[in-house]
Amino acid sequence: MDTPKASVKKIALNYGLYLGLASVILNVIWYVMDMHIDRPWYQGLIGFAVMILILVYGLKAFKKDNGGYMSLGEALKTGLGISLIAGIISVIYTLILVNYLEPEYVQKTLELTEEQMYERNPNLTSEQAEMALSMTEKFMSPGILSAIGLILSLFFGFIISLIAGLIMKRSHPMN
């Protein structure tokens, strides 16, 4: 008897949209609350928890649609697919934020970074601060921010999918 074959593409698209929209909603909330530049530690924790939940639910949906079976490879493909779709949506939001909603985003972030550098290291010379800020500014371009966001989405998606896949995997019985 053949077991139904789940579609990685369908699950990845659906749950990737869920995760991407959840990320955008969280980021809009932070933006409205004016917490999008000086981000408290718990923002990352909330975002990571949402990512774990949606990825795990996506893997569960794949396993269910696949007759209760899922290999580690299928878990990784599904999780990375979800993360890729969500990452693309987040990149689009970031580009809209930096280019249209908050064109001063990079400048404000650099000012906050400079403040924090002097708070953490009062003996910092202006030359050292200038060099550090110029390096930071290079990483704050919309293209680099987008690439870093996509890479981080895939990286964390891989780790979460690996762990969840190892826990949830169930091989097809030998016929």
d(CA 55, CA 43): 18
Which one is predicted more confidently, 128 or 24?
A: 24
**pLDDT band per the 50, 70, 90 thresholds, residue 76:** very high
pLDDT at 1: 45
In order of 44, 51, 69, 113, 122, the CA distances from 119 in angstroms are 22, 33, 53, 10, 6
- Is 0.85 surpassed by the pTM of this model? yes
